[in-house]
Amino acid sequence: MRSSRIEVSGVLVSTDHYIDGQRVSSSETFELLSPIDQQVLGNISEGLDEHVEAAIRSANSAFPSWSSMSAADRKVYLDRFADEIGKRSDEFCRVESTDAGLLLSRMRHGVVPRAMLNIRWFAEHALDLQNRPIETEQAHHRVRHDPAGVVVIITPWNSPLLLSTWKLGPALAAGNTCIVKPPEWAPLTCSLLADAADAAGLPQGVLNIVQGTGGKTGAKLVSDPRIARVSFTGSVPTAKWIAQAAGANLVPCSLELGGKSPFIVLEDADLDGAAATGALMYRNAGQVCLAGTRFLVHERVAEAFVARMREHVKQLAIGDPRDESTEVGPIIHPRQIERVEGFVQRAVAAGAELLWGGSRHPFGAQYFQPTMLTNVKQGDEIVQNEVFGPVLTLQTFADDSEAIELANGTDYGLGGVCYGETAHATDVAERVRTGFIWVNSFGIRDLNAPFGGIKRSGIGREGGDWSFEFFCDVKDVVVPKKPFRASFSHR
Ligand code: NAD
């Protein structure tokens, strides 16, 4: 079929699927808007049943040879894949900035280097994955990590390149074949990933990209009994749906979901440091799952902290994400900014007080002012539910136990931040129930470390060995050290 390409910020991007090493267009498309100015970027091929079927067949056919290749041989391909991402760095930056509204500067210095590392690091670490020995008196246990099969990867719009490669790296390195369903509000960098994979010579069918909306294409993919794993990042309602659909076939899912993470400022905190980090919570216009969005500040330092943070927030450069000096960009879609606005209006109507922000920003229709609400109660919607926009709340506490109670008082349990004297802050951090928490810092992530949430923030861990545990079938091959004599009394 004809390949269609659109020009986005000077880069030609295919709007077609990538199935079995070929570009495939669809008779149905969906319209893609830029969050910056709501310009139509193009019409994207929608994944129909026939495309899902073709991708699953292709990934299944590619599996025997890709999975039986040595990890070292796969690493050769995957290093080339990372190289090809690197060669297209500027294209990835420009396209994701226009398509998803991510800051160009962050794409250049953070996301693209990390995307390359996601592929390289897991390819390297897969080399010693097989045959981890356990020696006992009785036997040699050769614990194998065998690739599971066809992996479906579903990602959200708030960081499509980073999140797709975070899952693709370990899944491919371990010997699985993959089908990625990119987010419909920002699918274009996944399309560029297909170009990079193609140029790297990845065997056909090893990586397939099927675009489409969640309820149609995504739902069809995750319900198919021929798939072996679903790795999903997104919202809680979608995760519940996916878990049921995949669960019907007993297909394991890794679910990385939303958050309502606490940002705790203890009485002995460095208030300037905490306030500067606090302003970072507006990065990506607050569309960051791991942001600390509930500020819990000791009552004796609350006023001083608010004054300092207000100064940092005033200085934030709000504007076009393609401008290297911008610090806060747009909200992805008209539906999302309406949602954000609705949260703020309902909170104010319920008695919350605005410390700053509260409405749309004059820069453009898709921009919302960095906002902080106080005079909120623990049971309020604004405290309990994820806004996924530049909207934070502030509550005060009198002592550590109250801080911890407030921190733990939502259904979410993704991350957290705790500022205070290091030993004190570490002690408090250890008592907060989340998947991870940063002490006197924010956003430090290492590929060796586990990542994921508890409670409604997710099921499972990815990162380091945890990724391999998920994407592999673990098998214990037991070889006795002495000749084995069969006996009914033998345990
Ligand atoms: P979403 O759940 O609406 O969509 C995520 C993806 O799921 C999209 O690709 C969508 O097309 C697909 N999808 C939707 N319905 C589906 C279905 N029935 N079957 C299969 N796929 C389906 O989430 P979103 O609004 O795109 O993203 C924002 C959410 O993602 C927030 O809750 C945020 O906290 C979360 N998130 C979590 C992490 C993390 O690592 N924990 C990282 C980033 C974002």
Note the pLDDT tens digit of each residue in 360-381.
999 999 999 999 999 999 999 9
DSSP H helices in 350-421: 381-384, 400-407
- The response to whether residue 153 sits with its C-beta less than 6 Å from ligand 1 reads no
Ligand 1 centroid – CA 185 distance (Å): 11
Which percentage of the chain shows pLDDT scores above 70? 99
pLDDT of res. 128 = 86
pTM confidence score: 0.97
**Which pair of structure tokens corresponds to residue 153?**
């990867």
Answer yes or no: is pLDDT of 257 > 90. yes
Ligand 1 centroid – CA 134 distance (Å): 39
Per-residue pLDDT tens digits for 210-232: 999 999 999 999 999 999 999 99
**Which pair of structure tokens corresponds to residue 35?**
């969050």
Q: Among 238, 388, 411, name the best residue to mutate to test ligand 1's pocket (greatest count of ligand atoms within 8 A of Cβ).
A: 238
Is 289 among the residues known to form the active site? yes
pLDDT band at residue 1, thresholds of 50, 70 and 90?
very low
- The response to whether residue 207 sits with its C-beta less than 6 Å from ligand 1 reads no
Answer yes or no: is pLDDT of 62 > 60. yes
> Nearest C-alpha to atom 14 of ligand 1 is from which residue?
214
| Candidates 178, 253, 289, 472; catalytic one | 289
Q: Among 233, 253, 333, name the best residue to mutate to test ligand 1's pocket (greatest count of ligand atoms within 8 A of Cβ).
A: 233
Q: Where in the chain is the domain with CATH 3.40.605.10?
A: 5-257+457-477
Ligand 1 centroid – CA 218 distance (Å): 11
> Nearest C-alpha to atom 39 of ligand 1 is from which residue?
256
What lies within 8 Å, CB to CB, of 35 at 6+ separation is: 100, 101, 185, 329, 330, 331, 332, 333, 366
What lies within 8 Å, CB to CB, of 303 at 6+ separation is: none
- The response to whether residue 219 sits with its C-beta less than 6 Å from ligand 1 reads yes
- The response to whether residue 16 sits with its C-beta less than 6 Å from ligand 1 reads no
pLDDT of res. 441 = 98
- DSSP symbol at 309: H
Ligand 1 centroid – CA 233 distance (Å): 5
- Average predicted confidence (pLDDT) for the chain: 97
φ/ψ of 476, rounded to 5, equals -105, 110
User: How far is 387 from 297, CA to CA, in rounded Å?
Assistant: 20
Residue whose token pair is 């989340």: 434
- The response to whether residue 184 sits with its C-beta less than 6 Å from ligand 1 reads yes
Answer yes or no: is pLDDT of 321 > 60. yes
- The response to whether residue 157 sits with its C-beta less than 6 Å from ligand 1 reads yes
Ligand 1 centroid – CA 232 distance (Å): 7
CATH architecture of 261-439: 3-Layer(aba) Sandwich (3.40)
Per-residue pLDDT tens digits for 398-422: 999 999 999 999 999 999 999 999 9
pLDDT, average across residues 152-181 = 98
**Which pair of structure tokens corresponds to residue 489?**
């009394």
Is 256 among the residues known to form the active site? yes
Atom number in ligand 1 closest to CA 182: 9
Ligand 1 centroid – CA 270 distance (Å): 35
Dihedral in degrees, nearest 10, Cα atoms 429, 435, 439, 440: -130
User: Element (H or E) spanning 292, and its range?
Assistant: strand 292-298
pLDDT of res. 130 = 75
- DSSP symbol at 202: P
pLDDT band at residue 3, thresholds of 50, 70 and 90?
low
Atom number in ligand 1 closest to CA 234: 30
Pair 14, 23: CB distance under 8 Å: yes
pLDDT band at residue 491, thresholds of 50, 70 and 90?
low
pLDDT of res. 490 = 61
The pairing of strands 29-33 and 40-45 is: antiparallel
CATH superfamily of 5-257+457-477: Aldehyde Dehydrogenase; Chain A, domain 1 (3.40.605.10)
Q: Where in the chain is the domain with CATH 3.40.309.10?
A: 261-439
- The response to whether residue 91 sits with its C-beta less than 6 Å from ligand 1 reads no
User: How far is 75 from 69, CA to CA, in rounded Å?
Assistant: 10
- The response to whether residue 183 sits with its C-beta less than 6 Å from ligand 1 reads yes
